[in-house]
Amino acid sequence: MCILMLTVILVIILPCIAKANSYSSNVKRNMFYVEVLNYAMPTVKTTSFSEDDMAENCFSIGNTILKTVGLDINNPKSLLGREVAFLGLSYSKNEDVSFNEFKLDDKQIKKDGSTSKSNTQNDMNLENKDLTVYNPKLKKTLNTSKPEVLIYHTHTTESYKPGDANSFDNTQNVCAVGDAIVSELQNNYGISAINDKTVHDAEAYTQSYSRSAVTLDKYLKKYGDFKLIIDLHRDSVDDKKSVTTRMNGENISKFMLVMARKNPHFDKNMAMANSVIDTSNKLFPGLCKGVCYYNYGTRYFNQDKSNNAILMEVGADINTSDESKATGKYVARIIAEVLNNR
């Protein structure tokens, strides 16, 4: 009877709940069923699923059990809300809760080599006064025969509010942010750039990086290496304050870099990443959230293909497309400064 019940749960109920193999903005990335199989039958994992597949997913049975009772260890508000209620105080999920800011560095690495993707910073209401966005001294003659910057998107359909979290509308998803950056680079700084919009994540989501590697290889073969290669994404968080700041009278999305530490030439990639971060902190304090480190990530996030490759996340699904596109002019200025100095 127990075996029969387990079979029904694994084969019928969980697939219906998780829809692990369907492509939907509501359930995409949900590998609950796959992970349960891995826990129950380790041999299946070693023969059917690669470590790259699993690197895309952060499922935990323990965390899932806690969430069933309303606790999320990645969201301190869920615990705080219960404690406040216990003390007889009022608490609203929409109420602003301030947490201490922290900065990610080489020493703040988890045992599995990853770091939290969401450091919380309560500065959305901070008004940065009249920061100079453009530097006309950086402008040069545009040379379209040899692009200097390549932007592509492993998770091409990642999108922003007010639409769905995943969208094929390139005027609203991360491709729109790439277009904003490229436009600024070419028009204001004379830096030739490409924003590739090939869709890599519509089917077999866990193979997105292998497909984007093909796209990247195509450009490397055609043009040789670039001065900067950006795999442009967006994050996914609940607290908008952690991914939003205000500059020159408008709300804009913050950005963060994601790097693979076991990449064979990690030091060279980090040299580029540090140049971007340092320049951002100097010109636009509070715009850059820092670095999220993984050991391997998924295929090193393709950063092993170029010393100048980085992964950048602009805003999150809780930001609007306009807020994230507005970040483009600041990122373009940072890139122009970095490439000019290098």
Each residue of 162-204: pLDDT tens digit? 999 999 999 999 999 999 999 999 999 999 999 999 999 998 8
Query: Do 165 and 269 have their domain in common?
Result: yes
**112 assigned to some structural domain:** no
pLDDT exceeds 70 at position 268: yes
Question: What is the maximum span of the chain, computed from C-alpha positions, in angstroms?
Answer: 76
> 167 and 235: one domain?
yes
For the cut 80, the answer to whether the pLDDT of residue 79 exceeds it is no
Q: Which of 86, 114, 136 is the last residue of a domain?
A: 86
Residue 131, pLDDT score: 84
pLDDT at position 108 over 90: no
pLDDT of residue 78: 47
pLDDT in tens, 59-78: 455 555 555 555 554 454 44
168 lies in the same domain as 22: no
- Which of 328, 13, 3 minimizes the C-alpha distance to 189? 328
- Amino acid 341: pLDDT: 73
Collapsed DSSP state (helix, strand, coil) of residue 246: strand
Looking at residue 204, its pLDDT comes to 86
Q: What is d(CA 341, CA 8) in angstroms, rounded to the nearest whole number?
A: 62
Same domain flag for 173 and 294 = yes
Q: What are the Cα distances from residue 244, in Å, to 22, 239, 300, 317, 319?
A: 32, 9, 28, 12, 8
Domain assignment of residue 238, yes or no: yes
Provide the residue range defining the domain that includes 19. 2-86
From the list 118, 128, 67, the residue with the least C-alpha distance to 318 is: 118
Average per-residue pLDDT in the chain? 78
CA atoms of 319 and 243, how far apart (whole Å): 8
How high is the pLDDT of residue 15? 57
Q: Which band of pLDDT confidence, cut at 50, 70 and 90, is reported for residue 266?
A: very high
pLDDT value at position 11?
62
Q: For residue 69, is it within any domain?
A: yes
Question: Which range has the top average pLDDT, 22-26, 119-123, 279-283?
Answer: 279-283
Asked if residue 91 belongs to a domain, the reply is no
User: Looking at 22, 56, 86, which one is the last position of a domain?
Assistant: 86
241 near 120, Cβ under 8 Å?
A: yes
What pLDDT was estimated at residue 342? 61
Amino acid 104: pLDDT: 34
Q: Do 82 and 133 belong together in one domain?
A: no
Q: In this structure, is residue 60 part of a structural domain?
A: yes
Domain count, the chain: 2
User: Same domain for 187 and 274?
Assistant: yes
- In the chain, which residue ranges form alpha helices assigned H by DSSP? 2-8, 14-18, 32-40, 42-48, 51-55, 61-68, 76-86, 174-189, 208-223, 266-283, 321-341
- Residue 209 clears pLDDT 90, i.e. is over it: yes
Range 277-283 contact pairs with CB under 8 angstroms and sequence separation of 24 or more: 279/334, 279/337, 279/338, 279/341, 280/255, 280/330, 280/334, 283/131, 283/132, 283/330, 283/333, 283/334, 283/337
Q: Is residue 94 part of a domain?
A: no
- Cis before residue 162, ω within 30 degrees of 0? yes
Q: Are residues 217 and 325 in the same domain?
A: yes
* Residue 6 sits in the same domain as residue 149: no
Nearest one of 330, 333, 147 to 223, comparing CA atoms = 147
- Over residues 141-162, the pLDDT tens digits come to 999 899 999 999 999 999 999 9
Percentage of residues of the chain with pLDDT beyond 90: 58
Q: Do 82 and 132 reside in the same domain of the chain?
A: no
CA atoms within 13 A on the CB side of 104: 24
Structure tokens at 198: 């090939």
Domain-embedded: residue 57: yes
**CB distance 294 to 258 below 8 Å:** yes
Domain identity same for 62 and 131: no
Q: Who's near 87: CB < 8 A, 6+ residues apart?
A: none
Is 75 in the same domain as 135? no
Say yes or no to pLDDT of 286 above 90.
yes
Q: Residue 200: give its domain's CATH number.
A: 3.40.630.40
The answer to whether residue 126 scores a pLDDT higher than 80 is no
| Same domain flag for 147 and 280 | yes
pLDDT at 39: 59
Mean pLDDT, range 131-143, rounded to an integer: 92
Structure confidence at residue 210 (pLDDT): 96
Quick one: pLDDT at residue 14?
Answer: 57
The pLDDT-based confidence of 1 (bands split at 50, 70, 90) is confident
Establish if 227 belongs to a structural domain: yes
